[in-house]
Structure 1
Amino acid sequence: MSAERTVHTISPAALRRLTEEGRAPRLLDVRTPAEFRTAHIPGAYNVPLHTLREHRAELRSHLDEDIVLVCRSGARASRAEQALAEAGLPGLRVLDGGMTAWEAADAPVLRGAERWDMERQVRLVAGSIVLTTGLVGILVPGVHLIGTAVGAGLTYAALSNSCAMGVLLSKLPYNRGPRTDVGTVIAQLRDKS
């Protein structure tokens, strides 16, 4: 049995203070491009979690240990921290509470077009499936089992801190923005050195 890793966090207040003092760490926002365009912390780089995982060795050589990882709530950022730690970049921090906590603290945010975040989309799709199969199940025996399967999937998602439905929804055109070009991100990181 392996020991549980400790994820180091930074509070929105502490990050804001560092930013205001001109000592801001590099911010890697691991949300989808669409989420990033909706709202992000000024100066953050968008490197979606799947891109970060695929190119972590490449990114690692352009990052230092003064990095804060950002997502909506902290879950994806924690997975990004683990991926980068496995690539040899320890000591990273995760924004405690993610963008939700950052915005709640009235910290500065750059805003784009408003769109539903991934969690809200998952709730809509899962709820719609359960409601529809529950109603149709009154007339068609066995259809209610689809809703049961969705419930089981949501339970697994909570226990494993992953979400297959969220991954599928992130592939929809609504949730995709311009594809993140790793070369451009690396050039930007190099220029900031």
Structure 2
Amino acid sequence: MPDITPTELHQRQQAGETPTIIDVRETWEHEEGRIAGAQNIPLNSLPEKLDDLDELKDQEIIVHCKGGSRSASAKAYLTQQGFTNVRNLEGGFQAYTAAGI
């Protein structure tokens, strides 16, 4: 599945869409700033949260972190676990906020 740009995500949110967004940063990072509607599941907690996400296996999930590397790992992990529609937010939270969103 191709990654998603901050602009595309913002446009979809402005259009009223509510995609599933998972912030894989640490809790303290999420508390300092977040994308509206994102749920925080730190990368190292993903394995223990898989059962909670099972109903989303065939739905779009957008993962993000600070700059894109942790979320790339999360995308790869979720894909290996059978999730079929995982997209990484290009440039992460930094790019999303730098775009003035």
Q: CA deviation at 1:66?
A: 1.3
1:154-183 CA-partner distances (Å, limit 9, x unpaired): xxxxxxxxxxxxxxxxxxxxxxxxxxxxxx
User: What aligned pairs does 1:1-193 form with structure 2 within 5 A after superposition?
Assistant: 8-56=2-50, 58-63=51-56, 64-107=58-101
Q: 1:111-157: per-residue Cα shift (whole Å, max 9, x none)?
A: xxxxxxxxxxxxxxxxxxxxxxxxxxxxxxxxxxxxxxxxxxxxxxx
Counterpart amino acid of residue 62 in structure 1? E
Q: Structure 1 92/79 Cα, relative in aligned 2: closer, same or farther at 3 Å?
A: same
The structure in which a higher percent of residues are helix is 1
| 1:54-112 deviation digits (Å, cap 9, x = unpaired) | 332x13413242110010011111111111111110221000000010000111xxxxx
- The residue identity in structure 2 corresponding to 1:76 is R
Q: Which runs of 5+ in 1 are unaligned?
A: 1-6, 108-193
Distance in 2 of aligned mates of 1:45 and 1:51: 13
TM-score, L = length of structure 2: 0.91
Secondary structure of 2:3 counterpart: strand
How well do the aligned residues superpose, as a CA RMSD in angstroms? 1.3
Q: 1:60–1:84: 8 Å Cα contact kept in structure 2? A: no
Structure 2's unaligned 5+ residue stretches are none
Residue 106 of structure 1 aligns to a residue in which SS? Answer: coil
Take 2:52 and 2:71, find their aligned partners in 1: how far apart are those partners? 15
Distance 2:48 2:72 in 1: 16
Q: Identity over the aligned pairs, expressed in percent?
A: 33
Which structure has the bigger radius of gyration?
1
Dislocated runs of 4+, deviation >4 Å: none
Instruction: Confirm or deny: 8 A CA contact 2:43 2:70 kept in the other structure.
Output: yes
TM-score (norm. length: structure 1): 0.49
| Amino acid corresponding to residue 81 of structure 2 in structure 1 | A
Question: 1:23 Cα shift?
Answer: 1.5
Aligned equivalents of 2:53 and 2:77: distance in 1? 10
* 1:101 partner letter: A
